[in-house]
Amino acid sequence: MTNKAKKSLNIGVGWFLAATVIWGVLAYFFYRQSKDPQYNAANKSLFLSLVTVFLIFGIVALIFMILTVVLILGAMKKDRYDAAYNRGLLLGFIGLFFGLGAGAMLLAASRTHLKNHPKYLATLPVPTPICERCGQPVQFDKEVGGWYCPTCKIHLTKGVPKPRAPEKPVLPPTPPPRPGGQPPVYQPYSPQPGAAPPQAPPVSYPPQPATAPPPKPMGPPPGGYPPKPMGPPPAGYPPQQGMAPPPKPMGPPPGGYPPKPMGPPPAGYPPQQGMAPPPKPMGPPPAGGPPKPLPSNVKNVTCTRCGKTFYWTIVDPNARMAKCPWCNNELMA
């Protein structure tokens, strides 16, 4: 059935291709007629309109051929027979005109082969039977396993009933609690008449846990317990013998504490004995003294515009221009 559907679809694809060629030939024929000088302008415009229409029909037929290959045959390859059936009906009805009857092959493949294919039938919902008496839809009874008509209240079919879960075993009832919450009292063992007396274990057999004697209570170790260590005496109580006195609080060292270092005196206060006076700020050198040499990277430059002198610090040895800080004049250093 799949091969028959593919055969019909392939014929439809070839038919669409043939329709494309036919529409193209008709368009070319009318285009040649529009070039004939024996026709007037009205006929030529009509021929050109027919050329446009036939070209559009040919393009649509070519598109339908591609859609048939991609949408219908591609869906069948992916086992989507429900989508292939619906697309085959749609393209078949429209392709009857544009494909010059090529859509008939798509309709035949969809209605004859795809609709009855088992993979397409598996996608359909399960149909609901109808009661023959009242004509109403029936329901499925899970307990009985058949169809049941709620209108007529009768079973149309009966199948295998639904298996039930096994019932839980019924346990014997627990005795009620004793009044007062007292434990049960067991009677002492009394041998039954005619029963064999209980046998004692052999002499060489080790005692069992149930027959071992109870442990004896532990007493004091030999020599008695050692004396407990004494804690600190209460406040104000003299220390006992064999106990070190508590440490005394530490006082000042012998000879007293050393004197604290003196800070700087306030402004205008004379310096105290044993303290060096603060250094005086350095002012300009006395008049007539030798001038201090300038560092190697500092030059004394006089501006040619404002006539003021300033010091220029050489940061880059390759820089040869100095800038006056008063008038922003650049000088060659």
* DSSP code string of 59-71: HHHHHHHHHIIII
**Positions of E strands within the chain:** 139-141, 146-149, 154-155, 298-302, 309-313, 321-323, 330-332
Decide if pLDDT at 27 tops 80. Answer: yes
Rounded to two decimals, what is the model's pTM? 0.39
Q: Is 96 exposed, middle or buried (0-12, 13-18, 19+ CB in 10 A)?
A: middle
- Maximum Cα–Cα distance for the chain, whole Å? 153
pLDDT at 56: 93
Instruction: Round the average pLDDT of the chain to a whole number and report it.
Output: 77
Residue 239 has which token pair?
A: 């220390």
CB 76 within 8 A of CB 6: yes
pLDDT of 259 reads: 75
Distance from C-alpha of 232 to C-alpha of 295, rounded to nearest angstrom: 77
Q: 40 burial class (0-12, 13-18, 19+ CB within 10 angstroms)?
A: exposed
Average pLDDT over residues 288-312: 75
- On the question of pLDDT at 4 being above 70, the answer is yes
Mean pLDDT for 160-175 is: 68
- Say if residue 59's pLDDT is above 90: yes
Mean pLDDT for the stretch of residues 185-213: 64
Q: Is the pLDDT score of 210 beyond 60? A: no
Nearest to 312 by CA among 302, 324, 298: 298
- State residue 131's pLDDT score: 81
Q: How far apart are CA 88 and CA 107, in angstroms?
A: 6
9: pLDDT strictly greater than 80:
yes
How many beta carbons lie within 10 A of that of residue 10, not counting itself?
15
Distances in Å between the Cα of 239 and the Cα atoms of 62, 228, 248 are: 121, 17, 13
DSSP assignments along 139-205, one per residue: EEETTTTEEEETTTTEES---PPPPPPPPPPPPPPPPPPPGGGPPPPPPPP-PPTTPPPPPPPPTTS
